[in-house]
Structure 1
């Protein structure tokens, strides 16, 4: 699933292609809005809110989309071949004289009144990359249910908006806690530092086409920092590394499902409960 930094970059690309231009073509390929025609309307802005995309148009309308697991928006120049997937996966086409934006595999696509955007995104917690980012509020939200597993609490967009499965696993490793540790069992300084780190990681990657490492690989080491144990190009501590040695201690990384998604952890570096079956 695209994370907050990826969605923000998508919004930036769409804004550059569509904002302040009149739509000359519109095709919404979902039954509920198939007859809606936005042709002739000027796109006012495209912005992200957590993992949601809001394309605002004149006349008080907003096209709300969400990428979920494998959705994508692609921008093409006139005459350029569309390469985002087969035609039957296209859910939206927004075009002007300079660009065409094509939405593929969008599981959420709806047209709503701009004044009613809260219906789509009002439930979200502070956006890690938004003007409303507030670490104190995010921390209070995260600790609201002390018995909830840390990994689940981090992924709940009502607590803080923008963290996906990759950042979840990496943040748990950096906090030295398994994703199943009850969030209330985190020491107060650790919990506060985790929220701060989450904001720093996403902010560091908000404009990067290739996500910066969480391990520190390929950038100068901090004075006194321990070197990575294996390889200079390891970009992530645990995510996607099941069975490979932990970069910190050498213990094989383990993997298991949490809330129907794979998660990863080091059984030595991270303390807390783990599932009965591990991969």
Structure 2
């Protein structure tokens, strides 16, 4: 699932391509919006909110989309071939004279009044990359349920918005605890440090044009072998960059969603699944 930094960059690209120009093409391919025609209306802005995208359109309308696991928005120039997937996977097309934005495999696509945006994003906690960012509120939200496992608390968008499975695993590694440790058992000062690190990492990654998230920082120029981009996520069976122990993988949560979780069984203290 795209995380907050990826959604932020997607919004930036959509805003650059669409904002301030009237739509010359509008095709929303979901049943309840099939007859909606937005042509002639200008796109006012495209705003990210956590993992949600809000495309605000002239006339007090907002097109709300969420990428979840498979969705993506691609932007193409005039005459450029579309490469995001087969035509039957297209859920939305918004175009103007110079650019076309195509939404593929969007699981959430709905049109609402801009004044009603809180109906779809009002439940979210402080946005790690948004103007409403408030670290004290984020920490208080996380600690409100001290028995909850750290990983689950970080993924709950009501606590703070923007963290997914990648950052969950990486933040737990950096804190030297497993994602299953009850958040109330974190040593003093660690929740504040986790929140600050989450903000720093998402901010550092939000403008990466290749969308290749990194948490380990740039490798030294003289390094013979490039360091891994991530400490533990996606590195099951490979040596921990800190101690060399093989990294493990398990699912976290009640099984209703895919929650791949990676950790080092030596460096990270606390319970496991």
| TM-score above 0.5, yes or no | yes
Matched, 1:240 2:234: yes
Partner of 1:270: 268
- SS of residue in 2 equivalent to 1:62: strand
Shift, 1:214, TM fit: 1.5
- SS of residue in 2 equivalent to 1:237: coil
Does the CA contact (< 8 Å) of 1:204 and 1:212 recur in 2?
A: no
Partner of 1:57: 57
| In 2, Cα distance between equivalents of 1:184 and 1:123 | 23
Return closer, same or farther for 1:246/1:217 CA change in 2, 3 Å cut-off: farther
Kindly provide the CA deviation profile for residues 38-72 of structure 1, in whole angstroms up to 9, marking residues without a partner as x. Answer: 11101000010000000001100000000001100
Does the CA contact (< 8 Å) of 1:217 and 1:234 recur in 2?
A: no
- RMSD of equivalent CA atoms: 1.6
Kindly provide the CA deviation profile for residues 56-99 of structure 1, in whole angstroms up to 9, marking residues without a partner as x. Answer: 01100000000001100011112211110001100000011111
Partner of 1:99: 99
- SS of residue in 2 equivalent to 1:111: strand
Shift, 1:213, TM fit: 2.8
Q: Deviating runs (4+, > 4 A) in structure 1?
A: none
| In 2, Cα distance between equivalents of 1:213 and 1:96 | 34
| In 1, Cα distance between equivalents of 2:269 and 2:181 | 8
Partner of 1:156: 156
| In 1, Cα distance between equivalents of 2:251 and 2:33 | 36
- SS of residue in 2 equivalent to 1:47: strand
| In 1, Cα distance between equivalents of 2:68 and 2:34 | 21
Kindly provide the CA deviation profile for residues 211-266 of structure 1, in whole angstroms up to 9, marking residues without a partner as x. Answer: 46312341589xxxxxx9x9532111100011111000011000001133211000
- SS of residue in 2 equivalent to 1:252: coil
Structure 1 residues 114-153: aligned runs within 5 Å:
114-153=114-153
Partner of 1:24: 24
Shift, 1:158, TM fit: 0.4
| In 2, Cα distance between equivalents of 1:75 and 1:137 | 35
| In 2, Cα distance between equivalents of 1:64 and 1:219 | 42
TM-score (norm 2): 0.95
Matched, 1:258 2:258: no
TM-score (norm 1): 0.93
Which structure 2 residue ranges, 5 or more long, are not aligned? none
Partner of 2:8: 8
Shift, 1:191, TM fit: 1.1
- SS of residue in 2 equivalent to 1:91: strand
| In 1, Cα distance between equivalents of 2:37 and 2:61 | 12
Q: How many residues align?
A: 268
| In 1, Cα distance between equivalents of 2:214 and 2:116 | 38
Matched, 1:202 2:202: yes
Shift, 1:188, TM fit: 2.3
| In 1, Cα distance between equivalents of 2:260 and 2:167 | 13
Which structure 1 residue ranges, 5 or more long, are not aligned? 222-227
Return closer, same or farther for 1:164/1:55 CA change in 2, 3 Å cut-off: same
Shift, 1:11, TM fit: 0.4
Matched, 1:46 2:46: yes
